[in-house]
Amino acid sequence: MKLDARVPSGPLADKWQSLLDEIKLVSPANKRKHTIIVVGTGLAGGSAAASLGELGYEVKAFCYQDSARRAHSISAQGGINAAKNYQNDGDSVYRLFYDTIKGGDYRSREANVYRLAEVSNNIIDQCVAQGVPFGREYGGYLANRSFGGAQVSRTFYARGQTGQQLLLGAVSALNAQVAAGTVDLNIRSEMLDLVVVDGRARGIITRDTVTGEVESHVADAVLLCTGGYSNVYFLSTNAKGCNVTAIWRAYKKGAGFANPNYTQIHPTCIPQSGDYQSKLTLMSESLRNDGRVWVPKAVGDERAPNDIPEDERDYYLERIYPSFGNLVPRDVASRNAKNVCDEGRGIGTTKRGVYLDFAEAIDRLGEDVIRARYGNLFDMYEMITGENPYKAPMRIYPAPHYTMGGLWVDYYLMTTIPGLFALGEANFSDHGANRLGASALMQGLADGYFVIPNTLGEYIAGAKLEAVSPDQEEFNAARSEVEARTERLLSINGSRSVDEIHRELGMVMLDKCGMSRSAEGLTEAIEQIRVLKKEFWSNIKVPGTGEELNQELEKAGRVADLFELAELMCMDARQRNESCGGHFREEYKTDEGEARRDDENFTNVTVWEYKGDDAEPVAHTEELEFETVELTQRSYK
Amino acid sequence: MKLTLEVWRQKNGGDKGGFSTYELEDVDTHMSFLEMLDVLNQDLIVGGAEPIAFEHDCREGICGACGFVVNGVAHGHQKGSTICQLHMRHFSDGDKITIEPWRAKAFPIIKDLVVDRSSFDRILQAGGFVTIRTGSAPDANALPVATDTLEHAMDFAECIGCGACVASCPNGAAMLFVGAKISHLALLPQGMPEKAKRALKMVEAMESEAFGACTNYTSCEAVCPKEISISGIARMNKDFRRASVAGAEPAHGKKR
């Protein structure tokens, strides 16, 4: 597997522009001769499909939901970063770039991150022009809030539902292109395989989830914008349908999978309440602007939070990290929450929880100001828990939220399969080992609106693409495989439900490949996953047929892929003998218990190559070269 | 607690469908309504029966995928929430709960509680957008927008497209949904250039689908999980009438 990142030469700040100056273009008359498949309609896929349609390409977009607007980007709450420096607080493109690289614990590619920061301002302009109602100040100009990992206010927001408003903006642009006839939008269609012809991505196989029909779709390039795989943990903040299938199928067709173990466990989620729990709900990180995190100083303190006096509380983030306080990055906040709970100072019935307290902010600003800032989040908390956060502190605990790993892509966002691109959370490129808050929305839209419309042309203009037919061998073979797999899942006819086994997988992963990992634990996990996987393939029960709406069948197919991914995640975590960002290996920590990187041996990206179901995958590395940034011990103290 | 569920089961669009009864023995009050259905479905699956099909995804009340009628009320009786946000602590031991899909001509049933809401998207495709080429936007702060106006627009922009408004309307009207999108964009300066055209196109598209007309029952507003106001319908009607009289195209400066 050849890993050429194709980063343009020249100074960091000039790379993107110099590429734009020199990149091959496709003439308007030729664009319409090229069909581009876009899988997923979230921020990355929605914005890419809309922008490519507008440029004149023939776009075919696919989503598994009943409407493009329901893609999981819609759930993002807190905001989107940009280097506008509207606050006059010293922000700049360089500073946003630097914070993102540092936040990712120096495990992302410098040039990609710089470009992300560079186009961030265009994203805000674009969204405002679409009618995205970002929060504003009394003069009518845009407002900002602070987010973790930064000392400037650069986050734009639309109440507590920024993702919703950005996605509705992107989907409105997509809808305009559907109306214009440039985008053919296929809802309730799940991609079940990638088709590679002569070494190039030339199409996909989908299943219509209402009729069960398996269909072949031909294209000149395929863009996977299919999000992340936190649902490998069963309980996560992801939507129930989020899955790894599209990128996993691509991996099995030859696309390198980079850093699969890098997972973000988000610090502020509502703790689990019972065994029947189906998902965990995030409480936006923006709450840490005004909320203070604490636990009782004493082990086993059973008093109600309001009965615990100030001097018996441990505001541990403020104590350990005086300069960033409650706004330390997510990985640091999560790990510390785990630590205090491990010490026996956790709160709530399960003792896996910490307080997020707004009493001081309410005192200082008044309840109305807090309601204006976070009203819908407070309402959501009360609906779920039955407790009023204006009166007593919220209970929170970390939960799997985002996966920084994904398909390896070069500077053009192309994977190791020519013609196959990955955008947004589905790729690995911009967040290293830990993503900063409000950066996922930025990346999804940067990739879709501003990167791929430019870099795709280079491939289309430079590739000699022979005509292919949906009836040719490669497509028929992939279709047969998909159909056989469906048949197999339906015919197991065992005695356990898919969810039941998925929950067990989730527990193994959370315990051994979650907030803290060890070589020994990961080896055990791999064994346990193999046993569970066997149980899955021999004992699940999927009622119904493949020729109808069958939600259990859809779920079974997704979980089958999560099992394979889980094993790769553990292998990846086991070979990375260092701690960085969200990857915390118990063997590698400083005397103070912080993550200890090994820059000498691991300033790299691990890229896995599939070698067959019965063979071990092979790990390749892309060395990360830092021309501008000096690698330092990440400190938020 | 113990519950009795009466659930609408329908194999597909062609099937007649009917209610089935399920007894639940041990429902935890902390469960969400959908988790209660998950538990029932697990039992059905393991027992060899088909689980109840229902649409859901984010389970945080924002994606708009979930929705069905609980005891005659769209999304259940909790104000301002989707069904995924309703928790079982709001029910009592021994309750009988009736669950049925959105019933509207414009939302054909696909299976059990799953309906086809693609008519909503066809309306949005007709004009629910601002035409702005990627990359051609001016600086985001070029146009100030008064905070009151902005907040007003945001109130409408919050619509999640779940369809509860249609399902609860005796006429099966989609006007709260359409009025919300028209109002969101018409209130902002960015939406002004296409205001008339948008109103005409979207209303036209709405009328070409199987939705009914508004006769001011206001049941849509009562069940909307985002508590969107029917004032959006008034704005839609106003914009539509004005556009119908003046025409969607700008006036001509040349003799025709």
Residue-wise pLDDT for A518-534, tens only, equals 999 999 999 999 999 99
Residues B106 and B199 grouped into a single domain: no
Q: Residue B248 above 60 pLDDT? A: no
Q: Cα dist. A299→A174, A278, A296, A515, B208 in Å?
A: 54, 30, 7, 22, 66
A559 touches B: beta carbon within 8 Å: no
| Angstrom distance (rounded) from CA A518 to CA A602 | 17
Q: What is the pLDDT of residue A160?
A: 85
Within A404-511, strands assigned E span: 406-407, 420-422
How many domains does chain B fold into?
2
Give the start-end residues of each E strand in A253-310.
Answer: 257-258, 263-269, 292-296
User: What is the pLDDT of chain B when averaged over all its residues?
Assistant: 96
A105-134 pLDDT tens trace: 999 999 999 999 999 999 999 999 999 999
Average pLDDT over residues A584-613: 95
- List the single residue in A75, A178, A383 with the smallest CB-CB distance to B62: A75
Which B residues, 171 through 200, put their C-beta within 8 Å of a C-beta on chain A? 184-185, 188, 190-191
Q: Which residues pair with B172 in a beta bridge?
A: none
**Chain A, 341-400: which have a CB under 8 Å from a chain B CB?**
379-380, 383-384, 386
What is the pLDDT, as a whole number, of residue A103?
92
Is the pLDDT assigned to residue A353 strictly greater than 70? yes
Q: What is the pLDDT of residue A372?
A: 85
Residue type, A50: A
Question: Which of 42-71 (B) contact A at CB < 8 A?
Answer: 42, 44-46, 48-51, 53, 55-65
Nearest to A500 among B42, B63, B125 (CB): B42
- Which helix (H) or strand (E) segment holds residue B46: the answer is helix B33-46
Prediction ipTM score = 0.97
Q: Tell me, what's the pLDDT at B250? A: 61
For residue A220, the one-letter residue type is D
Cβ contact A397:A390 at 8 Å: no
Scan for tokens 């995030």, then name that residue: A282
Determine the distance in angstroms separating the CA of A406 from the nearest CA of chain B, rounded to an integer.
Answer: 21
Residue listed under structure tokens 């996953």: A529
According to CATH, the topology of domain A488-603 is Methane Monooxygenase Hydroxylase; Chain G, domain 1 (1.20.58)
B106 and B130 in a common domain: no
CB pair distance less than 8 Å for B150 and A133: yes
Question: Which residue of the set A70, A200, A202, A330 is catalytic?
Answer: A330
| Top-confidence residue, A286 or A568 | A568
**Other beta carbons less than 10 A from residue A343's beta carbon:** 12
User: Which member of A84, A175, A276 has the closest CB to residue B128?
Assistant: A175
| pLDDT tens, residue by residue, A148-199 | 778 899 999 998 899 999 999 999 999 999 999 999 999 999 999 999 999 9
Q: How many CB atoms lie within 10 A of CB A179?
A: 18
**Within-domain flag for B162:** yes
> Residue B100 has what pLDDT?
98
What is the predicted pLDDT for the residue at A501? Answer: 98
| Residue B135 forms part of a structural domain | yes
Q: Min CA distance, B254 vs chain A (Å)?
A: 28
What is the pLDDT, as a whole number, of residue B249? 62
Contacts of B148 (CB under 8 A, 6+ apart): none
Backbone angles phi, psi at A356, to 5 degrees: -120, 110
Residue count of chain B, please give it. 256
Q: Chain A partners of B42 at a C-beta cutoff of 8 Å? A: 497, 499-500
Residues B75 and B142 occupy one common structural domain: no
Based on the domain organization, do B239 and B210 belong to the same domain? yes
Bridging pattern class, strands A58-62 and A183-186: parallel
User: Which one of B110, B131, B165 terminates a domain?
Assistant: B110
Min Cα distance A176 → chain B (Å) is 6
Q: Is residue B219 part of a domain?
A: yes
- Supply the pLDDT for residue B61: 95
- Under an 8 A CB cutoff, do A158 and B59 touch? no
Architecture of domain A266-400: Alpha-Beta Complex (3.90)
- Both structure tokens of A153: 């206010």
Asked whether residue A55 carries a pLDDT value surpassing 90, the answer given is yes
Same domain, B150 and B100: no
Query: Are both B56 and B129 inside the same structural domain?
Result: no
Annotated catalytic, A330? yes
For residue A75, give the nearest of B12, B63, B153 by CB distance.
Answer: B63
pLDDT at position A600: 96
Indicate if B231 and B129 belong to the same structural domain.
Answer: yes
- Does the distance separating the beta carbons of A54 and B133 come in below 8 Å? yes
DSSP 8-state secondary structure symbol assigned to residue A450: I
Higher per-residue confidence, A441 vs B255: A441
In a domain, B255, yes or no: no
Give yes or no for residue B111 having a pLDDT over 70. yes
- CA–CA separation, A204 and A183 (whole Å): 17
Q: Tell whether the model's pLDDT for residue A431 goes beyond 90.
A: yes
Give the three-state DSSP class for A58: strand
Please state the rounded mean pLDDT for residues A330-339: 92
Domain boundary among B79, B110, B141: B110
Q: Which of A172, A240, A379 sits opposite B129 (nearest CB)?
A: A172
Which of A72-86, A372-386, B133-147 shows the lowest per-residue confidence on average (mean pLDDT)?
A: A372-386
Candidates A77, A38, A97; CA nearest to A162 is: A77
Q: Do B123 and B205 have their domain in common?
A: yes
pLDDT digit string, tens, across residues B214-230: 999 999 999 999 999 99
Domain with B145 in it: 118-246
**pLDDT of res. A493:** 96
For the domain that residue B24 is a member of, what is the CATH number? Answer: 3.10.20.30
User: Would residue B252 count as lying in a domain?
Assistant: no
- Put simply, the chain B residues between 102 and 131 with a CB less than 8 A from any chain A CB are 110-111, 114, 116-118, 120-121, 124-131
Q: CB contact, 8 Å: B213 with chain A?
A: no
In chain B, residues with a C-beta closer than 8 Å to the C-beta of A375 are none
List A residues 201-240 in contact with B (Cβ-Cβ < 8 A): 210, 239-240
The pLDDT tens digits for A264-309 are 999 999 999 889 999 999 998 889 989 999 999 999 999 999 999 9
Contacts of A239 in chain B (CB under 8 A): 57-59, 63
Mean pLDDT (whole number) for A536-556: 98
Pairwise CA distance, residues B236 & A38, whole Å: 34
B81, amino acid identity: S
Q: Establish how many alpha carbons lie within 13 A of residue A524's alpha carbon, considering only the half-sphere containing its beta carbon.
A: 11
The last residue of one of the domains, among B94, B110, B126, is B110
* B253: in domain: no
What's the mean pLDDT when you consider all of chain A? 96
Q: B149 and B208 share a domain?
A: yes
pLDDT tens across A223-250, in order? 999 999 999 999 999 999 999 999 999 9
Q: Do B96 and B123 fall within a single domain?
A: no
Residue B136 lies in a domain: yes
Chain B residue whose CA is closest to A156: B140
Give the model confidence (pLDDT) of B8-29 as tens digits. 999 999 999 999 999 999 999 9
Q: Give the model's pLDDT for residue A164.
A: 98
- Strands A200-208 vs A313-314: parallel, antiparallel or unpaired: unpaired
The contacts of residue B45 (CB under 8 Å, 6+ apart) are A497, A541, A543, A552, B51
Tens digits of per-residue pLDDT, B72-105? 999 999 999 999 999 999 999 999 999 999 999 9
Domain assignments of chain A as residue spans, ordered by start? 266-400, 488-603
Taking the mean position of all CA atoms in its chain, how far away is CA A26? 31
Q: Determine, for residues A159 and B154 on separate chains, whether the beta-carbon distance falls below 8 Å.
A: yes
Residue of B nearest to A237 (CA): B58
The token pair that represents B239 in the structure block: 């914009």
Find chain A residues with C-beta within 8 A of B158's C-beta.
159, 161, 164
Chain B residues touching A74 at Cβ < 8 A: 58, 62-64
Identify which of B147, B156, B193 has the alpha carbon closest to the alpha carbon of residue B176: B156
**If you ran DSSP here, which 8-state letter would residue B59 be given?**
S
A377 contacts on B by Cβ (under 8 Å): none
Determine if residue A27 is left, alpha or beta; phi over 0 gives left, psi from -120 to 50 gives alpha, anything else beta: beta
B84 touches chain A (CB under 8 A): no
Q: What CATH number did the domain enclosing B173 receive?
A: 1.10.1060.10
The share of chain B scoring above pLDDT 70, in percent, equals 98
Answer yes or no: do A172 and B51 touch at CB < 8 A.
no
Q: Are residues B102 and B137 in the same domain?
A: no
Question: What does the DSSP 8-state code read for residue A68?
Answer: G
Band of residue B256 on the pLDDT scale cut at 50, 70, 90: low
For chain B, state the CA radius of gyration: 21
HSE (side-chain half, CA atoms, 13 Å) at A600: 0
Inter-chain residue contact A70 with B116, CB threshold 8 Å: no
Same domain, B145 and B98: no
> Which of B24, B45, B197 is the best mutation test for A, with the most CBs of A within 10 A?
B45
User: How does strand A263-269 pair with strand B96-100?
Assistant: unpaired
Under the phi-then-psi rule, with left for phi > 0, alpha for psi from -120 to 50, and beta for the rest, what region is A538? alpha
Q: Which positions 273-292 of A are in contact with B (Cβ < 8 Å)? A: 273-274, 276-279, 281-282
